[in-house]
Amino acid sequence: MPDEVRYEVKLANGDVELADSLWGARHIVARRTAFAPDPLRPTSVLPATISALGKQYFGGRVFVETLSTVAEVSAPPPE
């Protein structure tokens, strides 16, 4: 059985949330951006960093992406 991968989202305000998929991680950022006091400038949310977590990674994590703008939140995820 392959090692399970989870995703960690670190938001600009220091909040950390976990997701079961990259889509789920990006959805956390999109949801928090949409409900920010100023959705066009969500300084409490962006930049957000997404990392993959798993035993198979050296140090237990690997960087996936950083979302810095609202436009990046709605863009397709990297391959």
Instruction: Check pLDDT > 50 for residue 1.
Output: no
Instruction: Check pLDDT > 90 for residue 77.
Output: no
**Residue from 71, 59, 67 nearest 12 by CA:** 67
Instruction: Check pLDDT > 70 for residue 79.
Output: no
Collapsing DSSP to helix, strand or coil, 76 comes out as coil
pLDDT tens string 13-46:
999 999 999 999 999 999 999 999 998 899 999 9
pLDDT tens string 39-56:
889 999 999 999 999 988
How far is 8 from 51, CA to CA, in rounded Å?
5
Cβ atoms of 14 and 65 closer than 8 Å: no
Which pLDDT score is estimated for 2? 63
Collapsing DSSP to helix, strand or coil, 10 comes out as strand
